[in-house]
């Protein structure tokens, strides 16, 4: 009796070729900002922007950095370095994702991709600065940046809460998955 032929990985049970899924979209190239020549700043401004008003968003960002410079005069770092350090302080390392197993939903802690970490931290900084009380968005953003730099504020608390949730679910998820 003949042995059945070994199937190739790109064939289904009937021997037909599997259809490929849609191709991944290409990453868009982001042009660096005009003042600092940093792609990260452009990405942040893109998150900050409303209704395509990029020049307004740049104005808010640069005004906020000037305000940060005046708030922290004895700091030897530049305002851009302070902003980067603030983002680093509020960047989460793990997040919880819902996994459904047998009718029950579990919160499973997972590592975050580097691009997503950066995006989450930028969005959190913007969200919590919008929630702040203050006169202008530049003032609110400057206040949130200085708080994040000093490991305080809403965005930093959000990161801590994410880590606590992941830690609480780590032991539980360990023996289930």
Domains of the chain: 39-102+110-176 (1.10.455.10)
pTM, two decimals, is 0.80
List C-alpha distances in Å: 33 to 46, 122, 163. Answer: 11, 16, 32
| pLDDT by 10s per residue, the chain, length 177 | 666 665 556 666 666 666 677 888 898 899 999 999 999 999 999 999 999 999 999 999 999 999 999 998 888 899 999 999 999 999 999 988 888 878 888 888 889 999 999 999 999 999 999 999 889 999 999 999 999 999 999 999 999 998 888 888 876 555 444
Q: Are 117 and 92 in contact (CB under 8 A)?
A: yes
In the three-class reduction of DSSP (H, G, I as helix; E, B as strand; rest coil), residue 87 is classed as helix
Nearest-angstrom CA–CA distance, 134 and 121: 21
Backbone torsions φ then ψ of 52, nearest 5 degrees: 75, 15
């Amino acid at each position: 009796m003949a042995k059945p032929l070994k199937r190739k990985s790109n064939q289904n049970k009937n021997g037909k070729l599997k259809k490929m899924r849609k191709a991944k979209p290409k990453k868009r190239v982001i042009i660096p900002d005009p003042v600092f020549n940093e792609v990260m700043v452009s990405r942040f401004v893109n998150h900050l922007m409303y209704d395509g008003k990029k020049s307004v968003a740049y104005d808010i960002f640069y005004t906020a950095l000037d305000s940060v410079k005046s708030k922290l005069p004895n700091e030897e770092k530049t305002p851009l370095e302070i902003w980067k350090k603030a983002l680093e302080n509020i960047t989460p390392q793990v997040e919880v994702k819902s996994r459904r197993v047998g009718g029950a939903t579990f919160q499973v802690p997972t590592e975050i991709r580097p691009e997503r970490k950066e995006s989450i931290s930028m969005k959190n900084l913007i969200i919590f600065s919008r929630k702040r009380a203050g006169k202008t968005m530049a003032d609110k953003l400057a206040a949130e940046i200085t708080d994040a730099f000093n490991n305080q504020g809403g965005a930093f608390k959000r990161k801590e809460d994410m880590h606590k949730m992941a830690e609480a679910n780590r032991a539980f998820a360990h023996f289930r998955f």
